[in-house]
Amino acid sequence: MDLAMNATSTPGLSGGYWNQFDEISKTNVSLNYFETLWLTWYVYMQNDVLATGIMSFVLHEVLYFGRSLPWVIIDCIPAMRKYKIQPNKIPTAKEQWYCAGFVLLSHFTVELPQIWLFHPIAHYFGLQTTVPFPPVWKMVYQIALFFFMEDTWHYWTHRFLHSSPFLYKNIHKLHHQYSAPFGLAAEYASPIEVMSLAFGTVGCPIIFASFTRDLHLMTMYLFVVLRLMQAIDAHSGYEFPWSLHHFFPVWAGADHHDMHHEKFIGNYASSFRWWDYIMDTENSPEATKRRREKKLAKVRKAQ
Ligand SMILES: [Zn+2]
Ligand SMILES: [Zn+2]
């Protein structure tokens, strides 16, 4: 990173992270607070592979468990039961601890060894780590595109995992252990499933970068943060009158994925409802009604 290199060669740049932050702020006045934090991190680490690896891993851990915690608390509040999609299936503390331990073990044994490859791969395919960050409009359209790409990848890969008893039994069955999901269960899955579905989240931005050479790591992080929040919320087991899909009807939300865990069939997409609608794999009372009416209309026509 060019700007980082300039900053490291600044005479007198030494000391801890915040000392370096102060010195970089003085010499790079055009950068905003977050850009200075970012640049200081790379300067402080003196090793881009380690800097990106540690930042990615810590971001994932803090966000995964931080976003799951409110759902653990909500499960302890009886007044919230009226919003629970399957109100008779409240996860026990033992189930939640076991699930958290399994996910944590998987993060340390499957994700951590691979994360050191992330910076070299990202760099090879043209992801930028320099400052300043790209303009907001660019981040917004790229994140929207990644949501669309990931949802498409997720729909077909997830449907594929349900397409044969062999794949289901050996790979995907583990994720379906909880027929009433909860936030922490979002990444409760076999390593093969985690890697194949995570390709949608990590691989789609990298493919985009390899074609356009116009993607910043910060944009990718923002997408990963939003996608992770979506995955945890979709597994929360709670449906509220203010849930996003009431205002943005193509958004999948928790009721969409909860039904998938309860019935094991249909609703294969992650973020949006359109693939299940187009491919007629939607599983909801409305979809069942629609199918019945279609069948009846066909029978009437044949008579
Ligand atoms: Zn499934
Ligand atoms: Zn699930």
pLDDT tens-digit series, residues 175-201: 999 999 999 999 999 999 999 998 999
Ligand that lies nearest to the alpha carbon of residue 236, given by its number in the listed order: 2
Ligand that lies nearest to the alpha carbon of residue 252, given by its number in the listed order: 2
pLDDT of residue 6: 43
CA 183 to ligand 2 center in whole angstroms: 10
Ligand that lies nearest to the alpha carbon of residue 187, given by its number in the listed order: 2
- How far CA 195 is from CA of 61, 92, 165, 183, 184, in Å, comes to 17, 28, 20, 19, 18
Count of residues in the chain: 303
CA 64 to ligand 2 center in whole angstroms: 15
CA 50 to ligand 1 center in whole angstroms: 35
CA 140 to ligand 1 center in whole angstroms: 29
pLDDT of residue 170: 94
Residue extents of the structural domains in the chain = 1-45, 47-116+131-302
Ligand that lies nearest to the alpha carbon of residue 173, given by its number in the listed order: 1
CA 55 to ligand 2 center in whole angstroms: 26
pLDDT tens-digit series, residues 76-103: 999 999 999 998 899 999 999 999 999 9
CA 198 to ligand 1 center in whole angstroms: 15
Q: How many other CB atoms are there within 10 angstroms of residue 222's CB atom?
A: 17
Listed residue (220, 48, 207) closest to 120, CA to CA: 48
CA 176 to ligand 2 center in whole angstroms: 7
CA 278 to ligand 2 center in whole angstroms: 21
CA 79 to ligand 2 center in whole angstroms: 25
- What the block records as the tokens of 290 is 């629609």
CA 140 to ligand 2 center in whole angstroms: 26
pLDDT of residue 14: 65
Amino acid identity for residue 103 in this structure? V
CA 191 to ligand 2 center in whole angstroms: 14
pLDDT of residue 12: 44
pLDDT of residue 298: 85
d(CA 197, CA 208): 17
CA 9 to ligand 1 center in whole angstroms: 52
Listed residue (141, 149, 155, 142) closest to 252, CA to CA: 155
pLDDT of residue 217: 96
Claim: this prediction has a pTM higher than 0.75: yes
pLDDT of residue 13: 57
d(CA 231, CA 133): 26
Low-confidence ranges of the chain (pLDDT < 50): 1-12
d(CA 176, CA 260): 9
d(CA 4, CA 229): 31
Q: Which residue has 């999948």 as its token pair?
A: 252
Ligand that lies nearest to the alpha carbon of residue 178, given by its number in the listed order: 2
d(CA 115, CA 74): 32
